[in-house]
Amino acid sequence: MVAAEGGSKIVEALHELNVQTIVSIPKVGPFDFSITNAVVYMWVSAVVVFVFFFIVARRLRKEPDGLQIVAEILLNFATGHLTGQIGEKGKKYYYLILTLFCYIMVTNLIGLIPKPIPLKPYTPTTNINVTFGLAIVTFFVTQYQGFHRHGVRGYLKSWMAPPGLPKALAPILSGILFLVHFMGEFFKPLSLSVRLFGNTIAGHLIILVMLGLMLQYASAVVIIPAGLFVVVMLLFEVFVAFIQAYIFSILSVVYIESAIYAGH
């Protein structure tokens, strides 16, 4: 009986990962446009990023204040470290990468902040649909750059075997490499989305399981070690929020760069 109750408390804690419908909207075919807590927190994250940089842009000073210093650090980080290797041809994507980095980091962190009771807590990046949507942005930018800069023929040719191979082997190797590259292009957004989703949800699952144990077994033997573990995990999740945003952004740069300089 106690074990069953303990299990139910853990399951109840894991319900935080469920999506809560706020405003129900009829489906249009397979598409559900209902407003959920995931959507609300995505909006909140977007507003936070926009308002932060908007305020900084309106208050630029020769002697920067705290907000401007943080913004300049982020900008230098994006243009120097994240996108430094992309070169002049990809310079216009500096701010896209910076936006992706900041948005993903905020959506990761928002799940660690206490929420209003009427709106069930949720971390948008624990939803594969959200992470895949972000990855699709990188995918379309990558393909646009490839086809726009090199043309259809030139870009597809870069997927084949390089010149200089024996005539007998060139068609076979070109066919194999083309197929591998073609599949790889479509696996890139999948790997981006699954990596971000998996690493984010893993930490939240561990924290929620520990909280479920603390709620069920209200004794010092369980609460003290579990509570300390939760605190450590929360601090670790702050680091994970940064590192996952960094990995997503740097891989996006690598994919876009590979399309810009395809064939070189």
In a 10 Å sphere around its CB, with 0-12 CB exposed, 13-18 middle and 19+ buried, how is residue 57 labelled? exposed
pTM reported for the whole predicted model: 0.83
Q: Are 173 and 240 in contact (CB under 8 A)?
A: no
In a 10 Å sphere around its CB, with 0-12 CB exposed, 13-18 middle and 19+ buried, how is residue 36 labelled? buried
User: What is the DSSP secondary structure assignment for residue 155, as one 8-state letter?
Assistant: H
User: What is the DSSP secondary structure assignment for residue 161, as one 8-state letter?
Assistant: P
Could you tell me the residue ranges of all domains in the chain? Answer: 2-260
Query: How confident is the model at residue 264, as a pLDDT?
Result: 58
Lookup: tokens for 58: 């309106």
Helix (H, G, I), strand (E, B) or coil at 32: coil
Smallest CA-to-CA distance from 225 within 241, 214, 212, 238 is with 214
Q: Are 192 and 251 in contact (CB under 8 A)?
A: yes
Per-residue pLDDT in tens (0 to 9) along the chain, 264 residues: 444 444 566 666 666 677 778 888 888 877 778 888 888 889 999 999 999 989 888 888 777 777 888 888 888 887 777 776 676 767 778 888 889 999 999 998 887 776 655 667 788 888 898 999 999 999 999 999 889 888 888 888 888 877 776 777 778 888 888 898 889 888 999 999 999 999 888 887 888 777 777 777 767 777 788 788 888 888 888 888 899 999 999 999 889 888 888 765
d(CA 107, CA 48): 10
Query: How confident is the model at residue 6, as a pLDDT?
Result: 45
